[in-house]
Amino acid sequence: MVTWLHNLASLMSTSSLENKNGTEDVPSDPHRRLTPSDSVKSMSANKTPIFLTGATGYIGGAVLERLLRHPSTNTFDITVLVRNAEKAKILESKFPVNVVVGTHQDLDKLESLAENSHVVFHCADADDLPAAKAILSGLRKRHSKLGDLPILIHTSGTGVLTDDARGMHITETIYSDLNVEQIKSIPPTAFHRNVDLTIIEADQEGYVRSHIILPSTIYGIATGPLFDAGVSNPHSIQIPLLIKASLARKQAGMVGEGKALWPDVHIDDVADLYIVLFDSIVSNPDKTGHGWEGFYFGENGEHSWYQISRAIGEALVELGISQDPEPTAFSREELIKYFGSEQMGNYAGSNSRCRADRGRSIGWKPTRTSEDMIKSIKPEVEAYLKKQ
C-alpha cells in the first residue's frame, strides 16, 4: 500500500498535496458544496478524492464494488452523485462513500464534484455532452488552481464502430485499440464520438489525462453488496431489449438475417478492466496510454446477432412461451414499436468488430467467453419474466 500511495503522489504536484492552512480533515457532510481546499485537506490525509458517476447503474455499480474492495480502498475518499433519494440513504448508511443527491443535468454539481477530485470515473451516459463538458470544466479548474493533473476514466462504447449492415453481412474491418491511426479514422458522426473527441481535446490541452473505455455487448447479471442492497441495476441493456421485444411478439426476433458481428464482454471482466487501468495509471503512468493512445476496448470474443436471437428463441421454447426457437426478422413497424425508431432498431443489426489489445497489454485478463454469453441469455429471460 505504501508503494501504491507513493506512486499516486508522484502523479500530483506538491501544491495539491500540501495543506497550507494546517487545518484538520474535512467533515464528511456530503450535501454541502465542496471547495478546492477540501481536496487539499483530503490529499494531505493520504486520501485520494475519487468521483464516480453511474453508481446506481450496471457498469458504475460494478466498478464501485471493486473500488470498495480494492487493496487500497482505505486511502480513497469516494463521492458519488445519485438522483434517487432512497438509494442515496442506503448508500450513506451501508457503504463508505460520500453521497450527493442530484442528476447529470445538475451541471454545477458535476463541475464542483469533478473539481474536487483527483480521479473521475465517468460511468454514466456516454452521449451526454453537457455532462462531459461540466466534468472537464471542473477538472480544468482543479488543474489551474492546484497544479494537479487529474485522471479521467470515461465510459464510451464499441457502438462508435458500427455500420449500417442491418443484419445482412459481416464486415472484415476489425479495429485494434493499439492502432491509433485507425482510431483517429472513426468519423465524428459516429455514436458517442462527439463526447469522445471533446475528451481527447481536453487531454491534448494538458489539463487532464484522459482514458476512454469502450465496452462492447456486456452480459451477465451483476452481483455484490451494492446489487443485493437494491442500489445498483444488475442487468445490461442491449440483450434485455431483444428479450423484451421477443417476449412481446412471442417469437425471437432479429434484424435482417442476423449475420452482423459484435464483440462481447462479461460485466465482471469489463469492471475489472477499469481497475486494471486505474492501477496501471498509478503504478506506471508514463507507460499507460492516454489521449489518442488511451482508448481501451472491452471485448473477449464476438458473436452474431443471430446467435443471440436463437438463444432467446430456445429459452422461450423451454419456458413454454414460443413454439419455434428460430428467430424471424423484425418488420419496420416492429423496429419502431420495440426500439423507438427504425434507426435504433437497426443498431441491433450492425457490425462492430474490435480487439482489446491495449487493455491486455497492461495486464487485463478477461476469463468469460462468447460461449458464456450465450449461456447467460436464459437466466436473463427468466429474470425479466419475474419482473413482469
**Within a domain: 175:** yes
Q: What is the pLDDT of residues 181-194, one digit of tens each?
A: 999 999 999 999 99
Residue 25 has pLDDT above 90, yes or no: no
Helix (H, G, I), strand (E, B) or coil at 20: coil
Residue 32: predicted pLDDT? 37
Q: What is the mean pLDDT of the chain?
A: 91
**Full-model pTM:** 0.88
Asked if 151 contacts 241 with a C-beta cutoff of 8 angstroms, the reply is no
Q: Is residue 19 part of a domain?
A: yes
Q: What CATH number does the domain containing 87 carry? A: 3.40.50.720
For position 45, what pLDDT does the model report?
60
SS3 227: helix
What SS3 class is residue 29?
coil
* 172 belongs to a structural domain: yes
- Whether 169 maps to a domain, the answer reads yes
Spatial separation of the C-alpha atoms in residues 28 and 333, rounded to whole Å: 53
Residue 120: its H or E element: strand 119-122
Host domain of residue 151: 2-235+265-302
Kindly report, residue by residue over 78-89, the tens digit of the pLDDT. 999 999 999 999
Is residue 385 a part of any domain in this protein? no
Domain membership of residue 316 (yes or no) is no
Residue 113 lies in a domain: yes
SS3 content of the chain, % helix, strand, coil (to 5): 50, 15, 35
CB burial of residue 272 (10 Å; 0-12, 13-18, 19+): buried
Q: What is the pLDDT of residues 321-370, one digit of tens each?
A: 999 999 999 999 999 999 999 999 999 999 999 999 999 999 999 999 99
Select from 115, 271, 295, 276 the least CA-distant residue to 199: 295
Continuous H helices in 77-147: 85-94, 107-115, 129-146
- Residue 29 falls inside a structural domain: yes
What's the domain count of the chain? 1
Average pLDDT (185-212) is 98
Which amino acid makes up residue 198?
A: T
